[in-house]
Amino acid sequence: MKGCVSGACQVQACGFTEFSGFGAAIEVHRAMGPGLLESIYEKCLMRELELRGVAVSTQVPVSILYKGLSVQDSLKVDMFVDSCLVIELKAVEQVLPIHKAQVFSYMKLLDAPLGLLLNFHATVLKRGIHRMILPGADMENVSF
């Protein structure tokens, strides 16, 4: 990006990625509506992000290291975008605090400054979007 200094480019790119994630999620919800399985929304959202030129990985294993113990295959994040944005998909009647805690845990373990918790069960997706910022993350240079 033009005019970026040191790590600011990566943070600005992450902000742009998050903005793309909002638009892509709204497009998927507009086309598919509420009431489907999370796995369907995941495939559709992955396709929508790909069409927008955003690099996305799905079902990414999250490693846990605890006092010399490495746990490899217990956790998988729904989507990891441009190595900076965690997207967790839900299709539930109500988002609970444990859902947000799950996203924060993924963000910490993957060192991702931004997270989106998307509840596709909402009749209007805008009400089902929860934007999350990792405490301590340098968000000063994020631009949309």
Task: Tell me the pLDDT tens digit for each residue of 68-90.
Answer: 998 887 889 999 988 889 999 99
- Token look-up 């441009």 returns 82
Whether residue 142 is contained in a domain is answered as no
Question: What distance in Å separates the CA atoms of residue 75 and residue 65, rounded to the nearest whole number?
Answer: 12
pLDDT (average), residues 118-127? 94
| Residue 76 near residue 60 (C-beta atoms within 8 A) | yes
Whether residue 61 is contained in a domain is answered as yes
Span of 1-10, 87-96, 124-133 with lowest mean pLDDT: 1-10
Number of domains in the chain: 1
Bridge partners for 61 per DSSP? 76
pLDDT (average), residues 101-128? 93
Contacts of 98 (CB under 8 A, 6+ apart): none
Whether residue 129 is contained in a domain is answered as yes
pTM of the model: 0.82
Q: Specify the 3-state DSSP secondary structure of 70.
A: strand
For 39, the domain range is 8-133
Whether residue 22 is contained in a domain is answered as yes
Question: What distance in Å separates the CA atoms of residue 78 and residue 39, rounded to the nearest whole number?
Answer: 9
Whether residue 26 is contained in a domain is answered as yes
